[in-house]
Structure 1
Amino acid sequence: MEDITLYFCLALLLAVLVVVVLAIQLGKANKKNNAMQLQLSRLEGQVYAQQLSDIDNKLNPHLFKNVLNAIQSHAYQTYHSLDSLSSVLDYILYESKKQYVTPQQEIAFALSLIEIYRIKLSPLFELKVKKKINENEPLYHQHLMTPMVSIDLIENAFKHADLQSPNAFISITFEFKENNFMLTVANKISNKQPLKKEKQGLGGKILEQRLQIIYKENYKLDKFIENDVYITHLKINLLEHKAKMLAAR
């Protein structure tokens, strides 16, 4: 009987030792895994930062060229667009280098950009710009927007719109409600084939790259044609994006 009791005690002790050893090994493995996850997150952050840096290097000169072309094409109206030009250049030079700006800043920049492009249009051309914004929402004033995310949708409307026919138009609507930034741009499609240029469509690819890198599944970009009208709609859920930013810290 004593032998059985001794054997049982030894077996129990051995089992406890095995559990302790396994627990220690598991703890070490978890610690190592956490360290690897942290290192991986840092590496991903470096990759994303490099990708965004490469994108910015392509984006800013492209925007400068388009803005200056708009001013040059109607030099006699330059005086009236100096305020808008100053705002746009300040934003490009200073705010665009930041990781995030507020939705309020991004919309103000986009409105100044539209005023610059307006000088290319006939006074009779129908350019509709609307704002449906709840400025009392806290996220409207928080730094959650990637700078210049509005550029491509607006530029494409002016580039591909039918500017000659009597029923031609461009419609741009900014919305901010329930913590969502929304931009809808619509334009009557021109029957004229645009001139093919090298690197055509660069802006669209850059926009989608930036949205995917920064907002991942917290955005939606739709593009479609309806009755000869090209429509693009961008929606960014800033509340979900902020929650994931906080969780990643």
Structure 2
Amino acid sequence: MYKNQKITVLSHLLVWLTLFCLPYLLSYGQEQEINRVIAHFWIPLVFSAIIFYFNYFVLIDRFLFSKKTTLFIVINVLIIITFLFLKESIEDNFFKEIIKKRIKTDDRVGPPFKMAIYIQMLSYMAPLFFSIALKSTKRWVKTEAERKEAINFKLKSELQHLHYQLQPHFFFNSLNNIYSLVDVSPDQAKSSIHSLSKLMRYMLYETNLEIVPLSKEIDFLKKYVDLMKLRVSDKTSVTCNFPSEETGIQIAPLLFISLIENAFKHGVSATKESQIKINMSCNNATVLFTVENNNFPKKTDDKSGSGIGLKNLEKRLELLYPNRFKFKSSLKDDCFLVTLTIKTN
């Protein structure tokens, strides 16, 4: 901020220095009479600077932006009229020889007095309008920055809420699975609890970041699939295909877990042959994730699959990767296929 202020001050100094040197820059080496430059250029320029900065630092904020437009106009009209009379008074009292010399040497008829006053008023209104434009632009930039900051804060809060919503949902479903193993296979239930503790450690301590390495997310998914395999029968076939090499891709955490959860909820039957196929591939910075499973719809009174996971996923994708993801699902011949494509940059 301090650096930006220094640049602004230097920019203003450079502009005013250029304006003060303008008579000499436009004279192409011709000799300029200093008194004429002072009377007809530098004095009006000083008045213009006063009008500009007085409006920029005081009047615009206090009156124009406070919707006291009439008072703002009246004050500026009085200032301009004062400077017009002050300029004429200075010329009459301190630069009489210039006026006399101009009358003797210049045979051309000058503009009428009213026209001269009108031109001078316009020259004083220019810095006024410029200060309004500059101040309004600065205010708009600040307002826009505050609006974007508010939107970002809202998005982060919403994402955090969705993240915290996903954790108990995941934990609840996993406990349901372990509960089903307690009576049937106590040893598997103990192993599942141990595996669940590792998964929860990842969810609690490593997914608070905005992005994580895809390799960590893959390792998390593999452990979750291994945990889910403990509760399915031999009639269920689960195949997984994940990238084996480091991809270098960074991605938002916990985007794929809901799809795998959904496959185990609705794709496993206790009496029929079931098949779940999980596949992930990477091409440059694009991740393609597909899950294919048999479809065994839940009964209406079965609350084990609330659907919150998929709703959560779609909302997070809209917030994290707007216009950079494709999420499709289809059902054909009792086979449910979901495809998620994410462009990570």
Which TM class, normalised by the smaller chain length?
0.7 to 0.9
Deviation at 1:16, TM superposition (A): 4.8
Q: 2:343 aligns with which of 231, 237, 240?
A: 237
Equivalence for 2:130: 23
Residue 197 of structure 1 pairs with residue 303 of structure 2: yes
Structure 1 residue 115 corresponds to structure 2 residue 226: yes
C-alpha distance 205-192 of structure 1, shift in aligned 2 (>3 A):
closer
AA paired with 1:85? L
Per-residue CA distance 1:108-165 (angstroms, 9 max, x = gap)? 1111111111111113421111124662x43x2x4xx222111211111011114232
Matched residue, 2:284: 178
Equivalent position of 2:217 in the other structure: 106
Uncovered stretches (5+) of structure 1, i.e. residues with no partner = 240-249
Choose between structure 1 and 2 for higher RCO, CA contacts under 8 A separated by at least 6 residues.
1
Counterpart of 1:61? 168
- Which one of the candidate residues 42, 51, 66 is aligned to 2:149? 42
Give 1:89's aligned residue: 200
TM-score (norm 1): 0.81
Partner Cα separation in structure 2 for residue 40 and residue 115 of structure 1: 46
Alignment of 1:128-167 (within 5 A): 128-132=239-243, 135=246, 137-138=247-248, 140=249, 142=250, 145-163=251-269, 164-166=271-273
Structure 2 letter corresponding to 1:47: K
Q: CA deviation at 1:92?
A: 1.4
Q: Does the 8 A contact of 1:99 with 1:146 survive in 2?
A: yes
State the distance in 2 between where 1:111 and 1:132 align.
11
Q: If the length of structure 2 is used for normalisation, what is the TM-score?
A: 0.60
How far, CA to CA, are the matches of 1:195 and 1:96 in structure 2? Answer: 33
Are 2:294 and 1:188 aligned?
yes
The equivalent of 1:76 in structure 2 is: 187
| 1:194-243, Cα deviation, whole Å (9 max, x unpaired) | 6443992211211111111222222121111122211111111111xxxx
Would the aligned equivalents of 1:183 and 1:234 in 2 still touch at CA under 8 Å? yes
Whichever residue aligns with residue 276 of structure 2, its letter is I
Partner SS for 1:217: coil
Distance in 2, matches of 1:52 and 1:15, equals: 55
Change (3 A) 1:193 1:199: closer
CA contact (8 A) 2:266 2:297 kept: no
Distance 2:211 2:296 in 1: 35
Distance 1:62 1:217 in 2: 27
Identity %: 24
Give the total of aligned pairs: 233
The structure that has the greater radius of gyration is: 2
The alpha-carbon distance between structure 1 residues 133 and 198, as it changes in their structure 2 partners (threshold 3 A), is closer
Give 3-state SS (helix, strand or coil) of 2:171's partner: helix
- CA RMSD after TM alignment: 2.7
Whether contact under 8 Å (1:70, 1:116) holds in the other structure is: no
Q: Aligned with 1:96: secondary structure?
A: coil
Amino acid paired to 1:158: F
Any gaps of 5 or more consecutive residues in structure 2? 1-107
Of 41-50 and 67-76, the range deviating more from structure 2: 67-76
CA separation in 1, counterparts of 2:118 and 2:337? 74
Q: How has the CA–CA distance of structure 1 residues 192 and 28 changed in structure 2, closer, same or farther, with 3 Å as cutoff?
A: closer
Partner-residue secondary structure (3-state), 1:236: strand
CA distance in 1, matches of 2:124, 2:329: 63
Contact between 1:103 and 1:181, CA under 8 Å: does it hold in 2?
no
Instruction: Measure how far apart 1:72 and its partner are.
Output: 2.7
Partner of 1:243: none
1:4 to 96, 111, 114: 111
